[in-house]
Amino acid sequence: MIIVDEYRERCKNFTIKVIKTNLDEYKRRGQTNVDRIKKQIFIGKLAECAVWKVKKDELVSGPDFTIYPPRHKSFDADLMFKDGKELHVKCQYTGKPGNKNNSWVFQKVDNPKGYIILTTYYKKHIYIEKMIRAEDADYSDTRLMLPTKKALYMYDLR
């Protein structure tokens, strides 16, 4: 469990700014539930901060709080190891930490390089579930068979 209270306000402000400048872009991509979008942005950024908190000695720099203009969303790595390898942080918030049914959703066009670190947000804390090499990711269809998404399921991970 990683306590992330010191990052909450900054992540909240980041979320507000992203929504103000990029809501139309989310809608264009089929995401219309504003409260859900806010929650995903907030928790995703909080997870980046949590990973930074525990791995900062291995990483080049912390989370990016830049507000990008619409249609310039970056699919680059969230963090970078000092050896140049990318680190992609994914967070889910619908299951308890360690649940074998937990899943993490990606855009089908996402092809991360380096590493993926899978986290869970539960009771206001971040839990690191697993870190895998991106090349070892064995994606599946989402449970809802979403045409533009793919998923990693905990029960499929070694």
The torsion defined by the Cα of 135, 80, 37 and 150, in degrees rounded to 10, comes to 0
pLDDT at 119: 97
Residue ranges of the chain whose pLDDT lies below 70: 73-75, 158
- How far apart are the C-alpha atoms of 145 and 87, rounded to whole Å? 27
Q: What is the pLDDT of residues 23-67, one digit of tens each?
A: 887 887 778 899 999 999 999 999 999 999 999 999 999 999 999
Rama region for 24: left / alpha / beta (φ>0; ψ in -120 to 50; rest) = alpha
Cβ atoms of 50 and 2 within 8 Å: the answer is yes
- How far apart are the C-alpha atoms of 119 and 122, rounded to whole Å? 10
pLDDT at 65: 96
pLDDT at 104: 95
Q: Which strands, in side-by-side order, build the sheet including 125-133? A: 2-3, 125-133, 115-122, 86-92, 79-80
**Residue 104: which domain range?**
2-156
The total number of structural domains that make up the chain = 1
pLDDT at 72: 72
pLDDT at 109: 81
Which CATH number covers residue 101? Answer: 3.40.1350
The distance from CA 42 to its chain's CA centroid, rounded to whole angstroms, is: 10
86 Cβ contact list (under 8 Å, min separation 6): 76, 77, 79, 80, 112, 113, 114, 115, 134
